[in-house]
Structure 1
Amino acid sequence: MAKKSSPTSTANLQRRQWLKYAGASAAAGTLAVSAQQSYAAVTTGARSTDGILDVAIIGAGLAGLTAARDLRKAGCESFLVLEARDRVGGRTLNYNIPGGYVSEVGGQWIGPGQTAVADLARELGVGTFPTYYDGKTVVLGGEGRVTVDLKGTFGTDEAVAAKLSKLSRDVPGGAPWKSSKVGELDRLSVGDWLAKQDIKPEDQVSWNASIILSGGAAPAKMGLLHFLSMINSADCDYSQLDAIKHSAQETRFIGGSQILSIKLALQLGDKVRLSSPVRQISGWDSDVVTLHTDHGEVRARTVIMAIHPALCHQMQFDPPLPEKRAALQGAWPAHSPARKTAMVYRRPFWRDKGMNGSIFQVNGPILWAFDNSPPGGEIGVINAFVGNAMVPSERDAAMAMHKQFYAQAWGDEALSPIAYHDQDWSKADPWTITCVSAIPPGFWSAHGEALRPSCGKLIWSGTETADIWAGYMDGAVRSGHHGALQALNSLRRA
């Protein structure tokens, strides 16, 4: 029979676990070691069985699940993750293809500098592989067709890109409102700035596609300050944001990006509660917060809000949130969902023709199509970001449109797919109201200071709050680490 541990040895073990965890997570926050040690002492039997959790986490995407995992690593078991959907993963989602393959229909890539999500994948035993880009890209315009070897880029003008890279040095990635040039830059949209750069008409297609794909809005609606903060996260190098090779679209996960959340949830077991939307939050300014869900009340001493800021509109707060925080949530762009399709073929036949599977379309519905086949190319998969307003909502009609465009690009073999999936995020569920946040001009100047400060017992998390790579999977993981540390420090103070 195993030797029974004494209370002292248990406390020492938890303290050692805390110190080990703190070293691994030093970049995620700046809490004192004394706070971590104090919490270890609190968890050695001091909590009462009064039905009050130490921490409730709203949202089972990468941010919320990472925070939950960190709490457990710290020795805290008094927590619960509440997820409105009937699945985990948030804005990452796998489409299961017959034969055991998957294609991502939500967020999917990581690249250089995105070390937080890469570390998480290694810890979970999830492998990676490079995005396929060898060969020529097809550009379609009306009935016209040209091919070009972009060598893993999106073809944007290097001189203009260098100017953006230089400007981004003055715009902190996680706090653009703190830029010394905020007054000058936050008045402009990216479109305003590009209009002064003498961009050739043939290059405008690349810029429009790049900015829509990265930022979720056309250049005319994307704030220049916000876009520069995104570039700042990419080591102040626009090419690291806007390309495949050595860039943010360089690497994919074996098993699809949702596998990260699935594995996290399996580790957490019954600590994750699905189909449990939170409708009201009461007493966030008191010692115990009450969450009103579709399946009853949950009470907690601290709450990590690991959701998109605009989703807070779907909850009632009693008392109302502070004016500045409420104003930020009210002004946050609340509806820019993407539509992403996946066409499956028996094999990636375009590769035999010297093509890389990428298509850009001038003034057409396909913003970007790309090779999304499995690592060994056992089957062929073409994913595409499409303009919702230009694609039929009816599935078969949308599929027929895709087949015609792909046939124009690569020939009649494209007319014979074996499967098709259409993920229209505007119809997926009530909780994926936007995929990436298309922040307009003037937003950060007016509301930036209210983004991160806690409101009573509410800790704001989610990728939008990340210090770097906000809006990306990496930002979600970073915000989860930071949210857990904030929650533990809050409990230590209490």
Structure 2
Amino acid sequence: MDEKQEHVATVPPPSGGKLSRRGFLGVAAGAMAVAAMPGEAAALTANSNDVLDVVIIGAGLAGLTAARDLRLAGCESFVVLEARDRVGGRTFNHQLSGGYISEAGGQWIGPGQTAVADLARELDIATFTTYYQGETVFLAGDGRVAMDLHGSFGTDVNIAAKLDELARGVPCGAPWKAARAAELDKMSLGDWLVTQDLKPEDRVGWDMASQLSGGVAPAKMGLLHFLSMINSANSRYEQLDSIKGSAQETRFVGGSQILSQKMAEALGDKVRLSTPVRGISGWDQAEVSLHTDQGLLRARRVIMAIQPALCNRIDFSPALPERRSEMQRRWPAYSPGRKTAHVYAKPFWRDQGYNGHIIQANGPLLWAYDNSPPDGSIGVINAFVTQSGLPSDPKQAEIMLSELFAQALGKEALNPLEFHDLDWGQEPWTISCVSAIPPGFWTEHGEALHPPVGHLIWSGTETADIWAGYMDGAVRSGHRAALQALQTLRQVG
């Protein structure tokens, strides 16, 4: 991380406070977008007497969508502040040799995710289908089994049907409002699975599903929250956690980060990188002051397009209302996620009848999959891995995973041309890729998630009415936040 993002703020602290699963070509467009963006740590140039209509904190999909909507509505009095030296938030493209990319964060969209699909069409970004033709390989110790799952993960249809039925009564955007919320929120997904008398071999699949969807084992995943995720997918579990006809079905040409790169390119100097916000004062006044590493800004409205846990890194003066503050303090931030990419000269596994998908029981590998470019001109296998099961040293991690891939797909897997590894837990402005909401959280804290506080408007995928936690949810939340800002500004204008 850039040293400029870690140094102590030089602006005065606010009064009374102290500063403190899922998206190759077109990479040239992405490079142009980056080149067109403002240089990192560019000083804020607004006159101290200027007051912007809106300041947006966070240049991920939510924040940039909100900024784009403001401009489309004719508003030019805004700026987007991003703590990182790049845009994209929890989407990020590894740059591979030959101009190819591999997504290191969120990457997929699927049926029902119309907001992000519409955005891609408006930005002229093409899509293509995730490769799943052929046999998936299951590993358990030295054991190995291969079978064609036809684009699914081999879901237990009986258990899925029971979850679907429960999910129909859980509003995805406000699960705490479900008629049975108090009852369902007392249980973890693990507690509920125990009541289903599953065989050990069947339980493995659900453990993996919970890890991939929520970043935690079923024992830490709230049942109410899990049901709200299924509710987003038309209350069909298979539409949530499969590939064919599911939320992992479609990828973006050029990688998912290109969505943010293109929006930022069009916004130009409205986007300020390497500008973390350290303090916000006067959020209950007509003019809000934002204290950043690059200077002081004032605005009439502030869109907080970051996840709730990151709000804890900002000093608010006066302090936020207790309900909101407590919700942020309790927000789960222990699912950082780690994703790797092996690059080969070609997707050799396809010629052998494999789809490149590998699932390991009780090991460091959760799920590996074919992440090659649309034309299959090179071979890429991405993998979701556990932080604790894989060495932190990249070379050791590469060797361990290569050996697992060779066990599944043959000796050609032992010699990748490139290896890329991103542990999101080491990204100081991410903390957690997904939000694994535990039992009891929504019924206690849910009501504090959406309501604005003073002139602060909450955005980010976690606040979405549907597809919360996904790229689609981020885009939806950006649309809503921009509309809220415009409406409230009009009321006082």
Flag whether TM exceeds 0.5 (same fold): yes
> Radius of gyration: which is bigger?
1
| 3-state SS, counterpart of residue 291 of structure 2 | strand
- Counterpart of 1:197? 196
Q: Output the CA distance in 1 between the equivalents of 2:146 and 2:197.
A: 24
How far does the alpha carbon of each residue in 1:320-349 deviate from its partner, in whole angstroms, 9 at most, with x for none? 000100011011002320000000000000
Q: Output the CA distance in 2 between the equivalents of 1:218 and 1:49.
A: 50
| 3-state SS, counterpart of residue 98 of structure 2 | coil
TM-score, with normalisation over the residues of structure 1?
Answer: 0.90
| 3-state SS, counterpart of residue 138 of structure 1 | strand
- Counterpart of 1:461? 459
- Counterpart of 2:13? none
Q: Output the CA distance in 2 between the equivalents of 1:216 and 1:173.
A: 18
| 3-state SS, counterpart of residue 388 of structure 1 | coil
| 3-state SS, counterpart of residue 330 of structure 1 | helix
Specify which of 473, 478, 489 is matched with residue 476 of structure 2: 478
- Counterpart of 1:51? 50
Cα RMSD (Å) = 1.0
Q: Output the CA distance in 2 between the equivalents of 1:214 and 1:322.
A: 31
Q: Which amino acid aligns with 1:480?
A: G
- Counterpart of 1:341? 340
Aligned-pair CA distance for 1:200: 2.1
- Counterpart of 1:206? 205
How far does the alpha carbon of each residue in 1:228-270 deviate from its partner, in whole angstroms, 9 at most, with x for none? 0000000010000010000000000000000000000000000
1:78 maps to 2:73: no
Q: Output the CA distance in 2 between the equivalents of 1:463 and 1:456.
A: 21
Specify which of 436, 439, 442 is matched with residue 441 of structure 1: 439
Aligned-pair CA distance for 1:148: 1.4
- 1:59-74, aligned counterparts within 5 Å? 59-74=58-73
| 3-state SS, counterpart of residue 235 of structure 1 | coil
Aligned-pair CA distance for 1:206: 1.2
Aligned-pair CA distance for 1:202: 1.6
- 1:135-284, aligned counterparts within 5 Å? 135-284=134-283
| 3-state SS, counterpart of residue 390 of structure 1 | coil
Q: Output the CA distance in 2 between the equivalents of 1:317 and 1:372.
A: 42
- Counterpart of 1:39? none
| 3-state SS, counterpart of residue 137 of structure 1 | strand
Q: Which amino acid aligns with 1:98?
A: S
Q: Which amino acid aligns with 1:442?
A: G
Q: Output the CA distance in 1 between the equivalents of 2:98 and 2:116.
A: 28
Q: Output the CA distance in 2 between the equivalents of 1:144 and 1:334.
A: 35
How far does the alpha carbon of each residue in 1:299-336 deviate from its partner, in whole angstroms, 9 at most, with x for none? 00000000000001101000000010001101100232
- 1:156/1:203 contact within 8 Å kept: no
Q: Output the CA distance in 2 between the equivalents of 1:276 and 1:487.
A: 22
- Give structure 2 stretches of 5+ with no counterpart: 1-46
Q: Which amino acid aligns with 2:274?
A: S
How far does the alpha carbon of each residue in 1:5-57 deviate from its partner, in whole angstroms, 9 at most, with x for none? xxxxxxxxxxxxxxxxxxxxxxxxxxxxxxxxxxxxxxxxxxx9941000000
More deviation, 142-151/219-228: 142-151
How far does the alpha carbon of each residue in 1:404-449 deviate from its partner, in whole angstroms, 9 at most, with x for none? 001101111111110000111111x211100010000000000010
More deviation, 332-341/194-203: 194-203
- 1:211/1:217 contact within 8 Å kept: yes
- Counterpart of 1:488? 486
Aligned-pair CA distance for 1:151: 1.1
Aligned-pair CA distance for 1:187: 0.2
Q: Output the CA distance in 2 between the equivalents of 1:320 and 1:140.
A: 51
| 3-state SS, counterpart of residue 243 of structure 2 | coil
How many positions carry a matched residue from both structures?
Answer: 446
Q: Output the CA distance in 2 between the equivalents of 1:49 and 1:228.
A: 48
1:366 maps to 2:365: yes
How far does the alpha carbon of each residue in 1:202-234 deviate from its partner, in whole angstroms, 9 at most, with x for none? 222211111111112110000000000000000
| 3-state SS, counterpart of residue 388 of structure 2 | helix
Q: Output the CA distance in 1 between the equivalents of 2:334 and 2:88.
A: 19
Percent identity (aligned) = 68
Q: Output the CA distance in 1 between the equivalents of 2:407 and 2:170.
A: 42
TM-score, with normalisation over the residues of structure 2?
Answer: 0.90
Aligned-pair CA distance for 1:396: 0.6
Q: Which amino acid aligns with 2:81?
A: L
- 2:209/2:241 contact within 8 Å kept: yes
Q: Output the CA distance in 2 between the equivalents of 1:356 and 1:335.
A: 31
Aligned-pair CA distance for 1:279: 0.2
| 3-state SS, counterpart of residue 279 of structure 1 | strand
Q: Which amino acid aligns with 2:174?
A: A
Q: Output the CA distance in 2 between the equivalents of 1:273 and 1:188.
A: 43
Aligned-pair CA distance for 1:156: 1.9
How far does the alpha carbon of each residue in 1:348-404 deviate from its partner, in whole angstroms, 9 at most, with x for none? 000011000001101000000000000010000000000110100111100000110
Q: Output the CA distance in 2 between the equivalents of 1:347 and 1:450.
A: 50
- Counterpart of 1:418? 417
Q: Which amino acid aligns with 2:428?
A: P
Aligned-pair CA distance for 1:473: 0.2
Q: Output the CA distance in 1 between the equivalents of 2:332 and 2:171.
A: 21
Q: Output the CA distance in 2 between the equivalents of 1:453 and 1:295.
A: 29
